[in-house]
Amino acid sequence: MTKKLWQKDTELNKLVEQFTVGSDTEFDLLLAPYDVQASKAHAAMLNKCGLLNKDDLKKLLTALFEIETEIEKGKFRIEQGVEDVHSQIEIELTAKAGEAGKKIHIGRSRNDQVLTALKLYLKAELREVTAMVEQLFNLYLGLSEKHKKILLPGYTHLQIAMPSSFGLWLGAYAESLCDDMEMIVAAYHTVNKNPLGSAAGYGSSFPIDRELTTKLLGFGGMNVNSVYAQMTRGKAEMAAAVAMSAIARTLARFSYDVCLYMSQNFGFISFPEELTTGSSIMPHKKNPDIFELVRARCNLIQAAPYRLTLLTSNLPSGYHRDMQLTKETLFPAIAQLKDCLGITIYALPQMIVNKEILKDKRYEYLYSVEAVNELVSKGIPFRDAYRKIGLDIKNGKFSPSGGLKHTHTGSVHNLGTDLIRKNFKETLKKLE
């Protein structure tokens, strides 16, 4: 039986061990490369501060490189009885580097060790999500420009409202991603601070150099106060979850639009058969399962901030084991969001738009506002013009002209694509 790093002479109760470890080891493998990265920086810092000699540093870096290679090849495993990935790496370090391996924990606690790996992981994941969001953003804007002349019914209260266009519809989701990226930027800046060296939350009596590890690990700054550094556990995860939730909200709403617009009663868009599913008894069906599942998964992702709030909101300062459970909420949410982004990026370019939608008589009332505005432009007061057109519609006398002259920024004939693209790029620069 492998002893825990903190274990002394007493064997841990099996039931207690099973309950406290839970499913942590399943998620911990995701943190393995970042724990190695942080351990390299920590070892280099210990050497600079005179707490680790050159020979021991060399042995540790060699062993850490070997472990890193095992992780990259998918051969790294957490052995049965080992508490977590951080313990496994230290055990392997000791096996590979001998006594030097036992010195890696000088000046740090498992609290700041875990938090550092977690923040490095979140930084990397936020970068990956950003790259995917940028790809989707470019798709939306590209298709918006491609289909900008094709009109589409606009709805309020699911009632026919005013003329829109595919350009306006798709551009709306591009701009939605602009705001979502602001949330990503905020989350990134929250996690881009180094907690290493805060130890268990009260610092260390060793003369460590936190500025050096901050630089070596590529953090933008550090969590200065050691107590607050530990308080960012839970806060960092919450920031990431809120950002993920914003993107998920945009994807869920778009997916609902797609499902609605694909239905026979709308018939605005379609997708190739290979992207839809059929019915076991109805041979005519082309079901939008992709987008139904994106909608469902993204709705669940939006629950992540609430779950983290319930988990962390009533805790005092200092570390608590409750924080272990943040991984069970956040890590799957990140994976699900990337899956949803990926399938949307794959499917969206294959969307087929209906170019003849507004020829259907059911949409003739879309032009009622245009008729009102036309009378107003001739000098008739707005309320009088509104009443006249309303009575014409009621009495069956309304005859739409079909004309549309929207030229202001952000309207059907002036999408403002360049402004939206500029805003997105400016937001991305905040991550540099």
Q: Are residues 317 and 371 in the same domain?
A: no
18 pLDDT higher than 70: no
Q: Are residues 151 and 35 in the same domain?
A: no
Q: Are residues 302 and 369 in the same domain?
A: no
Q: Are residues 320 and 268 in the same domain?
A: yes
Residue 9 placed within a domain: no
Q: What is the DSSP letter of 13?
A: P
Residue 402 placed within a domain: no
21 pLDDT higher than 60: no
Number of domains in the chain: 3
- What is the torsional sign of CA 306, 310, 319, 225? positive
Q: Within 106-165, where are the H helices?
A: 110-146
Residue that terminates a domain, selected from 52, 84, 106: 106
By residue count, the chain amounts to 432
Q: Are residues 65 and 84 in the same domain?
A: yes
Residue 165 placed within a domain: yes
Q: What is the CATH number of the domain that holds 35?
A: 1.10.275.10
pLDDT for position 40: 97
The one-letter code for the residue type at 202 is Y
**Cβ distance 41 to 104 under 8 Å?**
no
Q: Are residues 326 and 243 in the same domain?
A: yes
Alpha-carbon gap, residue 150 to 143, rounded angstroms: 11
Alpha-carbon gap, residue 423 to 432, rounded angstroms: 15
Contacts of 322 (CB under 8 A, 6+ apart): 311, 312, 315
16 pLDDT higher than 70: no
Q: Are residues 347 and 387 in the same domain?
A: no
Residue 334 placed within a domain: yes
* 276 or 350, which is more confident: 350
pLDDT for position 6: 43
20 pLDDT higher than 60: no
And the tokens for 175? 């701009």
Alpha-carbon gap, residue 411 to 419, rounded angstroms: 13
Residue 45 placed within a domain: yes
23 pLDDT higher than 70: no
243 pLDDT higher than 90: yes
pLDDT for position 9: 54
Alpha-carbon gap, residue 104 to 187, rounded angstroms: 30
SS (H, E, C) 351-409: CEECCCHHHCHHHHHHHHHHHHHHHHHCCCCHHHHHHHHHHHHHCCCCCCCCCCCCCCC
Contacts of 137 (CB under 8 A, 6+ apart): 174, 177, 178, 424
* Mean pLDDT taken over the chain: 91
* 391 or 28, which is more confident: 391
Alpha-carbon gap, residue 20 to 338, rounded angstroms: 29
Q: Using one digit for the tens of pLDDT, what is the confidence trace for 179-227? A: 999 999 999 999 999 999 999 999 999 999 999 999 999 999 999 999 9
Q: What is the CATH number of the domain that holds 128?
A: 1.20.200.10
Contacts of 156 (CB under 8 A, 6+ apart): none
Alpha-carbon gap, residue 195 to 213, rounded angstroms: 10
Residue 90 placed within a domain: yes
Which pTM value belongs to this model? 0.91
Residue that terminates a domain, selected from 45, 72, 106: 106
Q: Using one digit for the tens of pLDDT, what is the confidence trace for 386-399? A: 999 999 999 999 88
3 pLDDT higher than 80: no
| 413 CB neighbour count, 10 Å cutoff | 14
Residue 245 placed within a domain: yes
376 pLDDT higher than 80: yes
Q: Are residues 314 and 181 in the same domain?
A: yes
pLDDT for position 144: 97
pLDDT for position 50: 96
SS3 (DSSP) at 271: coil
pLDDT for position 118: 96
pLDDT for position 318: 84
Beta-bridge partners for 287: 277
**Cβ distance 400 to 367 under 8 Å?**
yes
3-state helix, strand, coil in the chain (%, to 5): 65, 5, 30
Q: Using one digit for the tens of pLDDT, what is the confidence trace for 61-86? A: 999 999 999 999 999 998 887 888 99
Residue 174 placed within a domain: yes
pLDDT for position 11: 64
Q: Using one digit for the tens of pLDDT, what is the confidence trace for 90-133? A: 999 999 999 999 999 999 998 999 999 999 999 999 999 999 99
Q: Are residues 20 and 164 in the same domain?
A: no
Q: Are residues 140 and 276 in the same domain?
A: yes
Q: Using one digit for the tens of pLDDT, what is the confidence trace for 135-183? A: 999 999 999 999 999 999 999 999 999 989 999 999 999 999 999 999 9
Q: Are residues 97 and 51 in the same domain?
A: yes
Q: Using one digit for the tens of pLDDT, what is the confidence trace for 288-340? A: 899 999 999 999 999 999 999 998 888 888 888 888 889 999 999 999 999 99
Q: Are residues 388 and 336 in the same domain?
A: no
What range does the domain containing 308 cover?
Answer: 118-196+225-359+419-429
